[in-house]
Amino acid sequence: MNLPMWGQWLGNATGDNKASLILNIDKDKPSEGFIHYYDNDLRLSSISAKIKFTIDGGKLIGELNDLYPSIRSENTDEVLPKSVHIQIEKMLPELMEGTWSADNGQAGNFMLNRRESTTSHVVSETIDWEDFISYAIKAKRENPELIFRGQPDSTLPLRTSFHRTTRRDLSRYSVEDMRNLNDYLANSNSGRFDLTDPTQFASLMSLAQHHGYPTPLLDWSRSPLVAAFFAFRSLKPEDINGHVRIYAFDLQKWEAQGQGYNSTSIDDPRYSITPLNIISPGNSRVLPQQSLFTFSNITDMERWITIHEKAGGEIIRAFDLKKESRQAAIIDLENMNISAASLFPGLDGSFEALKERAYKR
């Protein structure tokens, strides 16, 4: 039996305790991972831990050590386990099943599904550029809490730049990547962030996001037209087939369902898509782009959103526009003062806008 495949595995534990599970395994470290255990009984603590996989006598096992409560209960008599042993009975590319037993005497079964869809499964609607402008202006006027995101390929799912890599373990990301970024900024005399402060932790992620470093943040804009610019911006002259996509996400409905948890904690064991307004010192792009972010600890954001649409009504819409309408869209947007020059203050943005104007496609 082979070691578990890398990726994000979501599922449940049953037995003496019932809980939802998130297991994250990075591709470059397939023999270990990080697991989050969210107990259904809120009187009990939820737990996070590293997990190491080995093959022992032909059996695939996992050992959880250094467990700690990610959400501590108020039950002072609770006996938390110090270690958990799991044995995997079934291992398929998209399914993992087995048993678990803790050193505090609790035991049960678990089942996990690997969630690594590479294509979008949000139902979309095809729309002309002119019709999208009309929709966007009216929709934003009627619902100021709509936010928008543009993507150059309609087939790609909503996914953070971190989750578009082969990494999944945000605990490792927090310890290794964020500390390395912080050290680099300090060494380059750009200042240092206090990573124990959630606000400063989020600010560093925002800065990294705007400069192309993978993060668990997804960029959105309060402006549908800014989102449209980002949908069309990176297309090449030969990109005339297919569609770009612009998402409209209803923050008011999402937050009314209480599904964001208002948490950017790497240790939070709950599935999270959390809207964030982050003011990052030294980041001059946030205001002109009317930026805000969603933090997410799950790869398949679309599935989590559409599950909640079944209970609370439409939360997200996807509009597909022909790639061949790029030139008309970019010209119209520039006439509305939405261009690289206005969205990227500095020489790079100015030169990009001048190049666009001088070398029209």
Does the residue 343 lie in any domain?
yes
Same domain assignment for residues 232 and 294:
yes
Least confident of 87-101, 181-195, 224-238, 323-337: 181-195
The pLDDT assigned to 280 comes to 61
Same domain assignment for residues 147 and 66:
no
The Cα–Cα gap between 183 and 28 comes to 23
- The 10 Å Cβ neighbour count of residue 24 is 25
pTM of the model: 0.89
Does the residue 135 lie in any domain?
yes
Residue-averaged pLDDT of the chain: 89
Does the residue 201 lie in any domain?
yes
Same domain assignment for residues 305 and 197:
yes
Does the residue 119 lie in any domain?
no
The answer on pLDDT for 6 being more than 50 is: yes
Which residues have C-beta within 8 Å of that of residue 37, sequence separation ≥ 6? 13, 19, 20, 21, 46, 47, 48, 49, 269
Query: Which residue, 90, 114, 138, sits at the end of a domain?
Result: 114
The pLDDT assigned to 90 comes to 94
Same domain assignment for residues 84 and 186:
no
Confidence of residue 260 (pLDDT cuts 50, 70, 90): very low
Same domain assignment for residues 285 and 340:
yes
Same domain assignment for residues 193 and 93:
no
Same domain assignment for residues 247 and 178:
yes
Same domain assignment for residues 85 and 135:
no
Query: Which residue, 54, 84, 114, sits at the end of a domain?
Result: 114
Confidence of residue 61 (pLDDT cuts 50, 70, 90): very high
Same domain assignment for residues 217 and 267:
yes
Alpha helix stretches (DSSP H) within the chain = 129-142, 170-172, 178-187, 198-210, 224-233, 251-256, 301-312, 326-335, 340-343, 347-358
Does the residue 1 lie in any domain?
no
How many CA atoms, within 13 angstroms, populate the side-chain half-sphere of residue 85? 8
Range of the domain at 41: 7-114
The answer on pLDDT for 324 being more than 50 is: yes
Question: In the chain, how many domains are there?
Answer: 2
Same domain assignment for residues 102 and 133:
no
Strand ranges inside 3-45, DSSP E = 7-15, 19-25, 32-39
Same domain assignment for residues 262 and 347:
yes
Q: What is the mean pLDDT of residues 252-270?
A: 73
Q: Tell me the per-residue pLDDT of 304-313, one tens digit each, with 9 for 90 and over.
A: 898 888 877 8
The pLDDT assigned to 259 comes to 54
Q: Tell me the per-residue pLDDT of 197-222, one tens digit each, with 9 for 90 and over.
A: 888 888 888 888 888 899 999 999 99
The pLDDT assigned to 42 comes to 83
Same domain assignment for residues 342 and 213:
yes
Burial class (CB in 10 A: 0-12, 13-18, 19+), 296: buried
The CATH code of the domain that includes 70 is 2.40.160
Does the residue 2 lie in any domain?
no
Query: Which residue, 83, 114, 145, sits at the end of a domain?
Result: 114
Higher per-residue confidence, 348 vs 338: 338
The pLDDT assigned to 282 comes to 59
Confidence of residue 189 (pLDDT cuts 50, 70, 90): low
The label of the residue with tokens 């923050």 reads: 251
Q: What is the mean pLDDT of residues 84-110?
A: 95
